[in-house]
């Protein structure tokens, strides 16, 4: 496999899109993107202060049943305990016992607005407000936010929720967090049909990211609200700048893919971000497979097959509210696959290769 050519091909795709964006994108759009990008230098490591060290280490069914929606909480708690390791549930045990739920009739809101928030989790109050008619579709998603949130204290000005970190005037990694929350919701609880396109896109991204990090590790990092650990895990296969650019791009897409009005500049920026995300995922996954092959953990044939499968799994088209974006043309995918399927010429070459 000639990794140099694979890399050149990916770099070429990247350069073409960068040139277009640099030349034509209006300052306003770029500054919006940079705002997202700059904020990532502040990713914080979670250090639990002594006073918020969990006091619960198992489920108290009686306490849960006394709460509104108690039976739903017990059902959720049982699945959490069956699905994850006990050491990954300390945030969950702590928060579910102090959680408040507010089931509400939202019939009027539903009739007046085509899009309304049927449920939301407030980490400041550790509470969930939910439309009583939408409990089955929405409650488990919000409970996953609860199970992965370190509640803000007076001393800390950062809110940690799954992979996202919220500062007083900005937030980081919302896209990956929402995507992965819905992946776990689908995997263990329920399938929500009514998701926005930006959610669906970020689910695909999060699922591909999980293939790089590993399912067990990724679930554990999520339940510990450990974005810092996620970045650390990715650093084995990508530089910090590449990781930050990837997080910034997925955030931009999470916030703007479903925008009603998309002018030419925003359209170009969306295309740039889509390409950046794909490039990051393909190169990081290839790095991982290359490392495993060099360490003798997989054969060169397995490495080739896994990279080819991964490229095939990356969606070439992304649907948004108003249009379908072509991220990789069939020709581009074909040329990537052709490169992957070229067998290595000699052992010496396979040792020297780098990507
Ligand atoms: Zn959410």
Look up residue 117 and give its two tokens.
């928030």
- Determine the straight-line distance between the first and last CA of the chain, rounded to whole angstroms: 11
Paired residues of 319 in beta bridges: 324
Residue 167 pLDDT exceeds 70: yes
Cα-to-centroid distance, 119 and ligand 1 (Å) = 9
Residue 156, both tokens: 């800390």
Please compute Rg for the chain using Cα positions. 22
Q: What is the enclosing helix (H) or strand (E) of 128?
A: strand 127-131
Determine the Cα–Cα distance for residues 64 and 98; give it in Å rounded to an integer. Answer: 9
Which residue, 251, 111, 112, 136, is CA-closest to 191? 136
- For ion ligand 1, residues whose CB falls within 5 Å: 178
Distance between Cα 328 and ligand 1 center (Å): 29
Element (DSSP H or E) covering residue 9: helix 3-24
d(CA 249, CA 175): 9
User: How much distance in Å is there from the Cα of 113 to the middle of ligand 1?
Assistant: 19
Whole-number Å distance, alpha carbon 144 to ligand 1 midpoint, is 8
Q: pLDDT for 7-64, tens place per residue?
A: 544 443 344 333 323 322 334 454 555 555 554 556 676 655 444 555 666 788 888 8
Q: What is the pTM of this model?
A: 0.82
Dist. CA 279 → ligand 1 center (Å)? 26
2 has pLDDT over 70: no
| Res 34: pLDDT | 55
284: tokens are: 């990081």
Q: What is the DSSP letter of 88?
A: G
pLDDT tens track for 70-118 = 999 999 999 999 999 999 999 999 899 999 999 998 777 666 666 677 8
- Report how far ligand 1's centroid is from the alpha carbon of 128 (Å): 11
Q: Cα of 174 to ligand 1 centre, how many Å?
A: 9
């Amino acid at each position: 496999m000639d990794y140099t050519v694979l890399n050149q091909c990916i770099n070429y795709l990247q350069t073409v899109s960068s040139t277009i964006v640099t030349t034509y994108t209006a300052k306003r759009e770029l500054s919006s993107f940079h705002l997202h990008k700059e904020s990532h230098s502040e990713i914080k490591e979670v250090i639990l202060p002594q006073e918020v060290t969990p006091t619960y280490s198992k489920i108290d069914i009686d306490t849960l049943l006394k709460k509104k929606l108690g039976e739903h909480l017990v059902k959720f708690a049982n699945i959490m305990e069956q699905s994850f390791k006990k050491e990954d549930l300390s945030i969950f045990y702590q928060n579910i016992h102090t959680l408040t739920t507010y089931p509400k009739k939202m019939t009027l809101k539903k009739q007046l607005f085509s899009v309304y928030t049927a449920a939301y989790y407030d980490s400041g109050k550790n509470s969930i407000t939910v439309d009583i008619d939408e409990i089955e579709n929405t409650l488990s998603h919000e409970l996953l936010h609860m199970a992965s949130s370190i509640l803000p204290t007076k001393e800390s000005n950062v809110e940690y929720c799954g992979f996202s970190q919220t500062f007083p005037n900005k937030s980081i990694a919302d896209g990956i967090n929402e995507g992965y929350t819905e992946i776990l919701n689908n995997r263990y609880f329920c399938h929500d049909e009514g998701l926005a396109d930006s959610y669906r896109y970020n689910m695909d991204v999060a699922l591909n990211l999980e293939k790089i990090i590993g399912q067990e590790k990724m679930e554990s990092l999520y339940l510990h609200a450990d974005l810092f650990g996620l970045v650390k895990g990715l650093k084995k296969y990508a530089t910090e700048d590449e990781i930050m650019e990837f997080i910034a791009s997925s955030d931009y897409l999470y916030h703007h893919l479903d925008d009603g009005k998309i002018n030419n500049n925003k359209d170009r920026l969306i295309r740039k971000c889509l390409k950046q995300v794909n490039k990051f995922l393909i190169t990081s996954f290839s790095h991982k497979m290359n490392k495993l092959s060099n360490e003798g953990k997989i054969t060169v044939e397995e490495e080739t097959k896994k990279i080819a499968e991964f490229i095939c799994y990356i969606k070439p088209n992304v649907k948004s509210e108003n249009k379908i974006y072509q991220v990789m043309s069939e020709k581009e995918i074909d040329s990537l696959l052709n490169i992957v399927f070229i067998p290595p010429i000699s052992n010496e070459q396979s040792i020297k290769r780098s990507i």
